[in-house]
Amino acid sequence: MYIRVSIYSMRIHKEGGATILITALVLLVLNMTLHFFLGDTWLILIAIIHILSFGLWLFIISFFRIPARKLTQDANLLVSPCDGKVVVIEEVIDQEYFKTKRLQVSVFMSPANVHVNLNPIDGEVVYNQYHPGKYLVAWDPKSSTENERHSVVLKSKGKEVLVKQIAGALAKRIVNYLAVGQQVKQSEELGFIKFGSRVDLLLPPDAEILVDMNQKVKGGVTPIAKW
């Protein structure tokens, strides 16, 4: 049985402030310009553009939302680092850090998902590395090793988990808040990826996987594996 603890009510993530403001200003200028030049000639078209602009702005706001939810906290569980859909469950040979077999679980985040990334376990940050790369679509298997990405390894109870934030075709900015030597708490913020991507977990070979392919998961809530 795992424990859940209540957190804050819904809010907007700090990474969204500038983007939301810039989007609002651009849309405001665009709509005012159209209204000035088209005037009363194209009222229906202007109204449609106003509605679409407002919808786009609401979407940008929703992208940076942090919903109110109860987070999973259990030392025996590895929880999902993000919202999305499980797209990979397989055994791989890790070439970056472990150099041995690991169990990989990958979660794809669509632009509609919450995009904050969370620590799957309590532990110490023992590895933190940014890798420049390509911007293949996030569901492409090659994106794990060829796309721009940021990898961190968390160590707990003598075991290590690699969390890999991977950029996608739309995601052009990965933010990571951790540093080597830092002690982190399960389900607290690890970082943020803007506009659609994926997160890979490389787990110990003896970890018990608790999710299925194509299962929808919630960051900080859904148990991914048990050890």
Q: Where are the domains of the chain?
A: 11-66, 74-226
Residue 165 is given by DSSP the state E
Q: Per-residue pLDDT for 137 more than 70?
A: no
Whether 220 contacts 79, CB under 8 Å: yes
User: Is 144 in the active site?
Assistant: no
- Residue pair 31/55 in contact (Cβ under 8 Å)? The answer is no
CATH architecture of the domain with residue range 74-226: Distorted Sandwich (2.70)
pLDDT higher than 70, residue 203: yes
**In sequence order, what are the residues at sequence separation of 6 or more whose Cβ sits closer than 8 angstroms to the Cβ of residue 20?**
12, 57, 60, 61, 64
Structure tokens at 16: 């969204």
Lowest mean pLDDT among 52-56, 109-113, 127-131, 175-179: 109-113
pLDDT > 60? residue 113: yes
pLDDT one-digit tens code per residue, 13-31:
777 778 888 888 999 998 8
What are 59-84's pLDDT values in tens digits? 888 778 787 788 888 999 999 999 99
Give the count of beta carbons closer than 10 Å to the beta carbon of residue 24. 14
Which listed residue (143, 144, 187, 197) is catalytic?
197
H or E element at residue 118: strand 116-118
What pTM value is reported for the model? 0.78
Can you tell me the distance from the alpha carbon of 82 to that of 223, in angstroms, rounded to the nearest whole number?
11
